[in-house]
Structure 1
Amino acid sequence: MKQRAAWAASLAAVLALGGCGSAAAPDDEAGGEGGKLVVWDWKSGDESAAAYIDQAKADFAEAHPGVEVEFVAQPFDQYYNLLGTAIQSGSGPDVMMFNGGGQIRDRVDALLPLDDYIAEDRERLAGWEAFSQDDHVYAAPVTLQGHPIYYNKSLYEEAGLDPDAPATTWEDFLADCEAITAATGAKCLAQGNKEGIGIQFWLSGLGSGILTEQEYADWIAGDRDWTSPGVKRIFELWQEAGETGLFNDGANSTAMFNDMFAVFESGDASHVIGLMSDVGHWKEFAEFLDAENVGVMQAPVVSPEAAPSLPYDGGIGYGVAEWTADPALAADLVRSLTSTDALEAFYGDAGAIASDTTIDASSDGPAVTDIVAQIPSGRPALHVALSVETQELMGRLSQQILSGSITVDDALAQLAESDQG
């Protein structure tokens, strides 16, 4: 009840400050375009996003000099609850940020389809699928979010392994981990599952090395068999990794953000399934390990019929509220937020892999070069295809699997039931 009251108070404060409901008026007294657009997100307050926001605002102002744009940065841990309250009231910001996948698909009724506004951007930007539902696009992607497997090349060298030839099979991967741990004391995999998010990274990061191509395609399409040998093997490996000490100690009590990544950055683990966005990613790791020591490998093959690939989707994007007074104007702001100049600024300062495929990332180290090279052959991340409800259940069950309080079979039976509902 206290948390709900805090959310309500926060929303009331935003409303009092004019952070909600702002339709742009078509004309001001001078006969030119005027009015105001309000944007809700959780990035505009970050220092690493300042140049990105400034560039997007400048791009929009060039076409619409009389329109005021106000960004209201919300706390991420309360964002979707605040947004849900605004949606229920039928009034709120004109433009809203979303994560790709379930978070936006659960709320498309409150958004305007952007299909008529973004046609010329379809080829330049990647990641549209994560912001689409029933053949309509509801947000334009700003970043690509994926789950590369990063590794520490210096630890490979200390163990006498070739840092440029990581294992391609699960058996060889385990052998390399054993050698590294023996030589350096580092664990095989940094893991943080305090929030129940670690299993999402595990499923998507390793799944393409376990499921057949058909199983993978069926999963993304919604035809999921939670009892299949491949899916079961993903969760069995999760259990085995905990039981055999592949993870750092206390994985269930380690927060992913940012304690898990700190384990990898400190050299206490040789691998981590990380991100492509502006945290837990190649640029952050390079600050601690040096760019030349950050490697990227594909999922080790468990099933010989699997075809490893980079799991990625649209990361974050902006959509237009269905209640905005001027949809075309709000859509123009979304286009400015995904302009090449703005996205180049976000990539340069934050290291986020931008949705704009024309941005050159070839001079920023081997890790980002490898990631970008894998994008054309990449496939959607497995966990993004799940509903938010099923993701949350999977997180709770993954903690129980690691603690030994539930079997893999029982966990999968519950997930199958949730996914069907």
Structure 2
Amino acid sequence: MKQRTLWSAVLVGALALTGCGSAGSGSSSGSPDDTLVVWDWKSADEASAAYVEAAKADFAERHPDVTVEFVAQPFDQYYTLLGTAMRTGEGPDVMLFNGGGQIRDRADSLLPLDAYVAEDRQRLAGWEAFTEEDTVYAAPVTLQGHPIYYNRALYEEAGLDPEDPATTWEDFLDDCGTIAEETDASCLALGNKEGYGIQFFLSGLGSAVLTPREYDDWIAGNRDWTSPHVRRVFELWQEAGEAGLNNDGANSTALFNDSLGLFEAGEAAHIVGLMSDVGHWKDFGEFLGDENVGVMPAPLVTADASPSLPYDGGIGYAVAKGTAHPDLAADLVRSLTSTEALSAFHADAGAIVSDTTVDVSGGGPALAAIVPEIENGEPALHVALSSETLELMGRLSQQLLSGSVSVDDALRQLADSDQAS
């Protein structure tokens, strides 16, 4: 396995209600000296309960007099609340991040963890998504990727062979036409209300369009937004909308959890989903039956492309640079990535965890198709982009679907943003 891998008026009330940690500009924000506060969007989930308890128990063995308080924030507001709290010195001690631009853009506010996690580097995978200029700012909890799932029962209903999904884009379009004729389902489930859908599309299909050299250059930061193959990815996004492949109202459909629900309800034949802990094989299997959840490679678009599973470090915990207790906070991060805690997260949530010693192979046919691809997987294309570029790409993706911007204009804007960041 590769080891790469808003409210200014409301904020005061929000912080008062949710609690804040001891991170500040040289002084505590008011939390007791024996308390560490963690912000995330996972700890309130039932499927995460055993994971959180295992991590807290591991930490308590070494620090029995320290209280750990988890504050679950709404994901759709998380980075806005966190960013404002960090700027005002009222943020938590420990916080959860997605890998990629969201954490890299805030690296200056985070504690470098290299000295604390040296013993964990070989056991855990996915570090690159939480690294900026060779410095680690978070420890990975999961590996997150973007498989293309398909509904095997819908394939049978449409007269298609569920054992033989399309391997080229042309054949995929043919299958979508058959599905439209023979069933009431859309070909693709897409939620782009927040602009997240384009991220999944780019990473899920990009390896079938870009050449291996172009792919490597993109990840390395040498992105050519004028490349015909990069242009082709965004053309496919627009063409899929124009051809009616997506569910109705994709721009008003939330990715979490409305588009996922369309696939789970059998109202869409395919979805670019996730591979770990939400919107993944376990969730889909609970609704459709494990036997009906298929996983297919991205259908080939460019002859010399090489489709692969896109994945990176998924989520990871970081420490605020201004915390009054850096050693304790960093040790809590280690507990949150302990083998015992991560084993519980996999067992209950179906998370493909970062710990390479945890066996994640026993979850049914869809997971069995995903796990072997991890070893040869490549970093997800969207994770390499800054949060500013991702935000712009989300807005432009909505305009591309509505026809209010051209592909060329969108690419020019993205190139300017990428260069500036």
Tell me, yes or no, if the aligned pair for 2:23 and 2:89 is still in contact at 8 Å.
no
Unmatched 5+ stretches in structure 2: 1-5, 25-32
CA–CA distance in structure 1, aligned partners of residues 335 and 285 of structure 2 = 30
> Which residue matches 1:27?
none
Letter in 1 for 2:21: C
> Which residue matches 1:28?
none
> Which residue matches 2:81?
82
> Which residue matches 2:16?
12
Percent identity of equivalent pairs: 71
Matches within 5 A, 1:391-410: 391-410=390-409
> Which residue matches 2:116?
117
Letter in 2 for 1:352: A
Q: Which moved more, 1:124-133 or 1:73-82?
A: 73-82
> Which residue matches 1:320?
319
What TM-score results when the alignment is normalised by the length of structure 1? 0.93
For residue 39 of structure 2, give the secondary structure of its aligned residue in structure 1: strand
1:116–1:202 CA distance, 2 compared to 1 (3 A): same
CA–CA distance in structure 1, aligned partners of residues 283 and 178 of structure 2 = 26
What TM-score results when the alignment is normalised by the length of structure 2? 0.93
Q: Which moved more, 1:383-392 or 1:73-82?
A: 73-82
Letter in 2 for 1:11: L
Matches within 5 A, 1:255-270: 255-270=254-269
Equivalenced residue count is: 407
CA–CA distance in structure 1, aligned partners of residues 52 and 242 of structure 2 = 46
CA–CA distance in structure 2, aligned partners of residues 253 and 322 of structure 1 = 38
For residue 226 of structure 1, give the secondary structure of its aligned residue in structure 2: coil
Deviation, structure 1 residue 35: 2.5
> Which residue matches 2:128?
129
For residue 156 of structure 1, give the secondary structure of its aligned residue in structure 2: helix
CA–CA distance in structure 1, aligned partners of residues 119 and 163 of structure 2 = 40
- Does 2:305 match 1:306? yes
> Which residue matches 2:153?
154
CA–CA distance in structure 2, aligned partners of residues 227 and 107 of structure 1 = 29
Tell me, yes or no, if the aligned pair for 1:37 and 1:70 is still in contact at 8 Å.
yes
> Which residue matches 2:65?
66
For residue 116 of structure 2, give the secondary structure of its aligned residue in structure 1: coil
CA–CA distance in structure 2, aligned partners of residues 51 and 13 of structure 1 = 25
> Which residue matches 2:418?
419
> Which residue matches 1:144?
143
* 1:141-199 alpha-carbon deviations (Å, 9 max, x no partner): 11112111000111122233221221111112112222222222322111111111111
- Does 2:197 match 1:193? no
For residue 377 of structure 1, give the secondary structure of its aligned residue in structure 2: coil
> Which residue matches 2:374?
375
Tell me, yes or no, if the aligned pair for 1:361 and 1:369 is still in contact at 8 Å.
no
* 1:330-385 alpha-carbon deviations (Å, 9 max, x no partner): 22111110111111111221222211122222221111122221111111111111
Tell me, yes or no, if the aligned pair for 1:397 and 1:406 is still in contact at 8 Å.
yes
C-alpha RMSD over aligned residues: 1.7
Tell me, yes or no, if the aligned pair for 1:105 and 1:131 is still in contact at 8 Å.
yes
For residue 115 of structure 2, give the secondary structure of its aligned residue in structure 1: coil
For residue 383 of structure 1, give the secondary structure of its aligned residue in structure 2: helix
Deviation, structure 1 residue 283: 1.0
CA–CA distance in structure 2, aligned partners of residues 339 and 308 of structure 1 = 33
> Which residue matches 1:21?
22
> Which residue matches 2:296?
297
> Which residue matches 2:226?
227
